[in-house]
């Protein structure tokens, strides 16, 4: 499911498609709405317009550019900026979304100048349609969300075709791999960190649930440590010589308390906890 919100130059907005939990939100912004700063320096365009998005109830703010650089040559100087569509994954627990926009100019010294398109501070709000599974994922009892203690900063989800050995005789399977990286506040010498992954089929039925431990990877920023884990969530076996079949599961394991969900995933609230 995908929704596109267009912010037009006449200060109107249009919504096309389904803005639903687990889907995708595309933002198409007319740069003429924020024309305050088009700073240049020695022929280079030094300005930007960002879309800022906040999904509730999580309240995390995401940002992406709604402009693309224009160059005289592929590796040349940026001489202007053209419109570009920004894309955001819609969290599985989202109830509504707020959007506003920031135009940043250039200053030789100090803070760069800024201009806002925020509906005079009220932001542009849109309702998100419910699309929760039949068995919705909930945080563990006693779970508290605190990104100052544990924060997943990278999540990659991809499907891979795994060929059995010996190749060509034993068939193959489609595996959904998940790699999650997080930092955990070093509040105690001994720490346990994990995340809960849930897999749903195309009918929103739970087909697999699993708890994965995060393993120490290295130091990251003072008292924080970085952890990562790789797993596969579900396998669909294909016997040769049958043609490849589409994995009936969603393209994601559903996990929660993540700061950067994958663009192709549909995260649903779950738990990621450190103790």
Per-residue pLDDT of the chain in tens (275 residues, 90 and over written 9): 899 999 999 999 999 999 999 899 999 999 999 999 999 999 999 999 999 999 998 888 899 999 999 998 988 999 999 999 999 999 888 999 999 999 999 998 999 999 999 999 999 999 999 887 767 777 788 877 777 788 777 777 777 777 777 655 567 777 777 777 777 877 777 777 788 887 777 777 788 788 877 777 776 554 444 455 444 444 443 443 333 333 433 333 333 333 232 223 333 333 344 33
Of 252, 210, 232, 229, the residue nearest 161 (C-alpha): 232
Whether omega before 241 lies within 30 degrees of 0, making that bond cis, reads: yes
pTM of model > 0.85: no
Burial of 258 (0-12, 13-18, 19+ CB in 10 A): buried
Phi, psi for 54 (deg, rounded to 5): -130, 115
The total of other beta-carbon atoms located within 10 Å of residue 3's CB is 20
Q: Which of 63, 59, 54 is nearest to 124 (CA)?
A: 54
> How far does CA 234 lie from the centroid of its chain?
22
């Amino acid at each position: 499911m995908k929704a596109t919100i267009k912010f037009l130059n006449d200060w109107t907005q249009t919504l096309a498609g389904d803005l639903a939990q687990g889907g995708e939100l595309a933002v198409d912004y007319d740069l003429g709405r924020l024309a305050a700063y088009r700073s240049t320096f020695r022929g280079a365009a030094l300005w930007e317009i960002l879309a800022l998005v906040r999904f509730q109830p999580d309240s995390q703010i995401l940002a992406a550019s709604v402009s693309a650089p224009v160059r005289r040559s592929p590796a040349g100087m940026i001489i202007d900026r053209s419109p570009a569509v920004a894309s955001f994954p819609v969290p599985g627990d989202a109830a509504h979304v707020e959007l506003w926009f920031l135009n940043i100019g250039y200053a030789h010294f100090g803070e760069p100048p800024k201009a806002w398109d925020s509906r005079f501070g009220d932001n542009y709000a849109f309702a998100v349609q419910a699309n929760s599974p039949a068995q919705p994922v909930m945080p563990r009892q006693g779970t508290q969300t605190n990104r100052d203690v544990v924060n997943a900063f990278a999540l990659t989800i991809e499907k891979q075709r795994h060929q059995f050995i010996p190749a060509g005789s034993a068939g193959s399977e489609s595996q959904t791999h998940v790699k999650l990286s997080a930092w955990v506040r070093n509040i105690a010498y001994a720490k346990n960190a994990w995340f809960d992954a849930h897999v749903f089929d195309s009918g929103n039925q739970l087909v697999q649930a699993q708890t994965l431990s995060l393993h120490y990877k290295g130091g990251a920023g003072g008292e924080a440590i970085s952890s990562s884990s790789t797993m596969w969530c579900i396998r669909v076996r294909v016997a040769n010589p049958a043609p490849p079949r589409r994995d009936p599961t969603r393209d994601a394991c559903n996990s929660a308390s993540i700061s950067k969900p994958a663009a192709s995933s549909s995260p649903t609230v779950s738990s990621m906890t450190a103790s």
